[in-house]
Structure 1
Amino acid sequence: MLEIERKFLVTSDSYKKEAFKNNRIVQGFLNTNPERTVRVRIKGDQGFITVKGISNEAGTIRKEWEKEITLEDAEMLLELCEEGVIDKMRYEVNAGNHIFEIDEFFGKNLGLVVAEIELSEENETFLKPSWLGEEVTGQVKYYNSQLSKNPYQLWKK
């Protein structure tokens, strides 16, 4: 399956009032090689394993494969992950015909808030909420796999 996605910084917390759903997410990476990232995630009481391929030059398109696994398997696999677990709250917000997923990070990534939108085609138009800031699509440092190795709070140093 192809994932077509754009990523933005968030300028205020007004998205929280617009959210129709939120979930705590804890995730780790079995492999952070950009050509084939392997992620283990616990979202609420569900476990998932995901493999993502390398992005196109613009950073908008890449292959993605995901399967639900048991919570117990996800907890066990998290123990095998590379150092740097990601902890975040994900908010989902309707905007026109799309849903933005806004991730508010904790731990060593505290202070970072990023919004993502999945599209059906690379140049698809979409409604941009007032809290949507600078686009960071394709900037590798904002990939969760990279945030696990080089956390946001270290960028300022």
Structure 2
Amino acid sequence: MIEIERKFLVKSDAFKDKAYKKIAILQGFLNTHPNRTVRVRIKGEKAYLTVKGKTNKEGLTRFEWEKEIKKTDAHSLIDLCEPGIIDKTRYLVKSGKHTFEVDEFFGDNQGLMVAEVELKSETEDFEKPDWLGREVTGDVKYYNSQLSKKPFKKWED
């Protein structure tokens, strides 16, 4: 239940032509404490409740627990969430032995695209596609829990 991932900005939408799956996601946060977040997510036709722990110093590793729940329950829980519901489309894109999850955000986060790759270890190598931009692993402003509080449209240039 330990998640190891690296996060990057996306510099073009060239990934869309290579995506093998596209999923609509709606998510909210019941709790965004710095030591833990509790998220409700509707992902296509399924729904999940997720608890994430605090990341390590580098922002690469953290505890994650997830349980599938009824979609109707998820809609009810989203109504209880803190302000700032996240609306995005996730694209799954293969690159070498890995799959990148590329999120294109909408609403108050329109214009932001972020890619994540899950790894087996913090030092695992992976193939970087040409549409991948600057690494933002560990930069908390790119966490969905923070994007719900201070969306991309409110960032200063």
Q: Give the distance between the partners of 1:147 and 1:64, measured in 2 at CA.
A: 19
- Residue 65 of structure 1 is matched in structure 2 by 65
Q: Give the distance between the partners of 1:20 and 1:34, measured in 2 at CA.
A: 34
- Residue 9 of structure 1 is matched in structure 2 by 9
- Residue 155 of structure 2 is matched in structure 1 by 155
Read off the aligned partner of 2:51 and give its amino acid letter: V
Read off the aligned partner of 1:145 and give its amino acid letter: S
- Residue 79 of structure 1 is matched in structure 2 by 79
Deviations 1:76-129 (A, max 9, x none): 000000000000000000001000000000000000000000000001000000
Q: Give the distance between the partners of 1:44 and 1:2, measured in 2 at CA.
A: 24
CA RMSD of aligned residues (A): 0.7
- Residue 96 of structure 1 is matched in structure 2 by 96
Q: Give the distance between the partners of 2:136 and 2:36, measured in 1 at CA.
A: 21
- Residue 50 of structure 2 is matched in structure 1 by 50
Superposition pairs for residues 96-135 of structure 1, below 5 Å? Answer: 96-135=96-135
Read off the aligned partner of 2:145 and give its amino acid letter: S
Q: Give the distance between the partners of 1:125 and 1:45, measured in 2 at CA.
A: 33
Note the C-alpha offset of 1:45. 1.1
Note the C-alpha offset of 1:156. 2.6
% identity of equivalent residues: 62
Gaps of 5+ in 2: none
Q: Give the distance between the partners of 1:34 and 1:125, measured in 2 at CA.
A: 29
Question: When the two structures are superposed, what TM-score results if normalisation uses the length of structure 1?
Answer: 0.99
Q: Give the distance between the partners of 1:87 and 1:116, measured in 2 at CA.
A: 17
Q: Give the distance between the partners of 1:17 and 1:60, measured in 2 at CA.
A: 28
Q: Give the distance between the partners of 2:34 and 2:104, measured in 1 at CA.
A: 23
Q: Give the distance between the partners of 1:42 and 1:76, measured in 2 at CA.
A: 11
Read off the aligned partner of 2:140 and give its amino acid letter: V
Deviations 1:10-29 (A, max 9, x none): 00000000000010000000
Note the C-alpha offset of 1:153. 0.5
Note the C-alpha offset of 1:34. 2.0
Gaps of 5+ in 1: none
